[in-house]
């Protein structure tokens, strides 16, 4: 089956349009910090025939597929196996100190969701894995087996915003005393059983949704990594350089919003009649608030439904 049939990049045209002013430069370089199966990168390489890609991904399967998909672009493509908080090191490894455009398409990829044995989807029984980087050590099964009740409750509350976090944590502790919880189906059955019927009727989503999200974030350190990656990415952009970030859950989007707000705000003390140049914002926001997918795109590509897009452009050099 063709990749276009199994992977539809989210907000593709919008991402290309937002990055276009930066990538029209001679010798432009852009980073796809979440390469995945290469859909966004392919479109950008086609649209800007002089541009060079540095593609990052922690998933070796994704890099292999992207490498095959982008092979026709030859030496215009450099793929790096790394988590996106390694963006600065990855760029330096190519002999560069800056790049013109950066794209982050956060969250779990189509490849990871669609491969049942990766354990990301609560709708399919599989080993409780959830590692985006299959060379890493800790799986979701390890967390479920070893974390204490307090730590399970903490990650369910913090990363899943789960109101029944305490109830689910107690249920896991009790269940694992009887038998190891090694498969997603076991965990889903346990969570459903632990959810009061009244709550199941009131909730729009599956009872396991938020717990699975929390485990995935914990396994992959997603928010910690993103918190390091965004400032590093902004530091790589020269004046006129642009960054686009797509988030799929509120925790990510709030973090992106905060970092972009700080970068696009004056640092001058309140009340000054004139803003000193050194306090002027270094970035300007390119979209108002968080941009959503159109109804048409949501129908065509349901995975675009929760997306929140934010973008910014550097307008002032960083202080030396």
Tell me if residue 117 falls in helix, strand or coil.
Answer: helix
Pairing verdict, β 52-57 and 29-32: parallel
Do 248 and 211 share a structural domain? no
Q: In what order do the strands lie in the sheet with 283-285?
A: 77-81, 52-57, 29-32, 101-105, 242-247, 308-314, 283-285
Q: 77-86, 107-116, 244-253 — which is least confidently predicted? A: 107-116
Count CB neighbours of 207 within 10 A. Answer: 21
Do 230 and 165 share a structural domain? no
More confident residue, 233 or 277: 233
Give residue 83's pLDDT.
95
Does the residue 111 lie in any domain? no
Does the residue 320 lie in any domain? no
Do 139 and 48 share a structural domain? no
Q: What is the average per-residue pLDDT within 70-96?
A: 97
Tell me if residue 207 falls in helix, strand or coil.
Answer: coil
Query: Of 188, 220, 252, at which residue does a domain stop?
Result: 220
Is 40 one of the annotated binding-site residues?
Answer: yes
Do 185 and 200 share a structural domain? yes
Does the residue 212 lie in any domain? yes
More confident residue, 146 or 117: 146
Does the residue 110 lie in any domain? no
Q: What is the average per-residue pLDDT within 83-99?
A: 97
Is 240 one of the annotated binding-site residues?
Answer: no
The CATH number of the domain holding residue 249 is 3.40.50.150
Does the residue 120 lie in any domain? yes
Do 306 and 292 share a structural domain? yes
Do 310 and 289 share a structural domain? yes
Does the residue 89 lie in any domain? yes
Sequence-separated (6 or more) residues with CB below 8 Å from residue 298:
304, 305
Is 206 one of the annotated binding-site residues?
Answer: no
Give residue 202's pLDDT.
82
Helix H segments across 115-208?
140-146, 149-160, 165-178, 184-194, 197-202
pLDDT at 54 over 90: yes
Q: Kindly state the tokens that stand for 293.
A: 């997918």
Do 248 and 166 share a structural domain? no
pLDDT at 244 over 50: yes
Query: Of 165, 197, 220, at which residue does a domain stop?
Result: 220
Is 81 one of the annotated binding-site residues?
Answer: no
Q: What is the average per-residue pLDDT within 162-184?
A: 96
Sequence-separated (6 or more) residues with CB below 8 Å from residue 158:
214
pLDDT at 199 over 70: yes
pTM here? 0.90
Do 148 and 8 share a structural domain? no
Alpha-carbon distance of 247 to 128, in angstroms, equals 24
Give residue 44's pLDDT.
98
DSSP 82: S
Question: Number of folded domains in the chain?
Answer: 2
Is 105 one of the annotated binding-site residues?
Answer: yes
Does the residue 160 lie in any domain? yes
Please, which pLDDT band fits residue 135 given cuts at 50, 70 and 90?
confident
The CATH number of the domain holding residue 148 is 1.10.150.170
Beta strands in 203-278 (DSSP E): 242-247
Query: Of 200, 220, 240, at which residue does a domain stop?
Result: 220
Give residue 110's pLDDT.
62
Does the residue 319 lie in any domain? no
- Tell me the longest C-alpha to C-alpha distance in the chain: 69
Percent of all residues in the chain with a pLDDT value above 90, rounded to a whole number: 79
Range of the domain at 230: 3-105+222-314
pLDDT at 114 over 70: no
Do 132 and 188 meet the contact criterion of CB atoms below 8 Å apart? no
Alpha-carbon distance of 53 to 65, in angstroms, equals 15
Q: Kindly state the tokens that stand for 80.
A: 């790096």
Q: 78-87, 128-137, 155-164, 301-310 — which is least confidently predicted? A: 128-137
**Inter-axis angle of helices 39-47 and 12-23, nearest 10:** 40
Please, which pLDDT band fits residue 1 given cuts at 50, 70 and 90?
very low
Is 7 one of the annotated binding-site residues?
Answer: no
Do 157 and 97 share a structural domain? no
Burial, 127: exposed, middle or buried (Cβ in 10 Å; 0-12, 13-18, 19+)? middle
Alpha-carbon distance of 63 to 53, in angstroms, equals 13
The chain-wide mean pLDDT, for the chain, equals 91
pLDDT at 131 over 50: yes
The single residue listed with the structure tokens 């963006």 is: 87
pLDDT at 252 over 90: yes
Please, which pLDDT band fits residue 166 given cuts at 50, 70 and 90?
very high
Sequence-separated (6 or more) residues with CB below 8 Å from residue 281:
263, 264, 265, 266, 315, 316
Q: What is the DSSP string of 160-178?
A: H--TTHHHHHHHHHHHHHH
Sequence-separated (6 or more) residues with CB below 8 Å from residue 264:
281, 282, 283, 284, 285, 312
Tell me if residue 143 falls in helix, strand or coil.
Answer: helix
Do 89 and 143 share a structural domain? no
More confident residue, 202 or 320: 202
Do 13 and 85 share a structural domain? yes
Q: 16-25, 82-91, 108-117, 198-207 — which is least confidently predicted? A: 108-117
Is 189 one of the annotated binding-site residues?
Answer: no
Do 92 and 34 share a structural domain? yes
Q: Kindly state the tokens that stand for 181.
A: 């919880």
């Amino acid at each position: 089956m063709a990749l276009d049939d199994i992977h539809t990049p989210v907000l593709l045209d919008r991402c290309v349009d937002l990055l276009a002013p930066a990538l029209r430069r001679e010798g432009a370089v852009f980073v796809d910090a979440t390469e995945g199966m290469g859909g966004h990168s392919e479109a950008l390489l086609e649209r800007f025939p002089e541009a060079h890609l540095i593609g990052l991904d922690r998933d070796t399967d994704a890099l292999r597929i992207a490498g095959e998909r982008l092979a026709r672009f030859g030496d215009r493509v450099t793929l790096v196996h790394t988590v996106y908080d390694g963006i600065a090191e990855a760029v330096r490894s190519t002999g560069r100190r800056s790049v013109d455009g950066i794209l982050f398409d956060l969250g779990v990829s189509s490849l990871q969701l669609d491969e049942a044995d990766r354990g990301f989807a609560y709708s399919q029984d599989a080993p409780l894995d959830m590692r985006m980087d299959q060379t890493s050590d800790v799986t979701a099964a390890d967390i479920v087996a070893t974390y204490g009740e307090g730590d399970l409750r903490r990650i369910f509350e913090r990363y899943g915003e789960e109101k029944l976090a305490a109830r689910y944590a107690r249920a896991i502790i009790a269940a694992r005393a009887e038998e190891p919880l090694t498969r997603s189906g076991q965990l889903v059955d346990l969570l459903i059983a632990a959810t009061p019927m009244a709550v199941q009727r009131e909730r729009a989503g599956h009872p396991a949704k938020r717990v699975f999200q929390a485990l995935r974030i914990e396994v992959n350190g997603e928010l910690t990594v993103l918190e390091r990656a965004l400032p590093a990415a902004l530091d790589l952009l020269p004046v006129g350089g642009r960054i686009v970030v797509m988030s799929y859950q509120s925790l990510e989007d709030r973090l992106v919003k905060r970092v972009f707000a700080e970068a696009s705000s004056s640092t001058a003390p309140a009340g000054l009649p004139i803003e000193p140049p050194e306090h002027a914002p270094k970035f300007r926001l390119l979209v108002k608030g968080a941009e959503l997918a159109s109804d048409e795109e949501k129908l065509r590509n349901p995975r675009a439904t929760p997306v929140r897009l934010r973008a910014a452009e550097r307008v002032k050099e960083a202080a030396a």
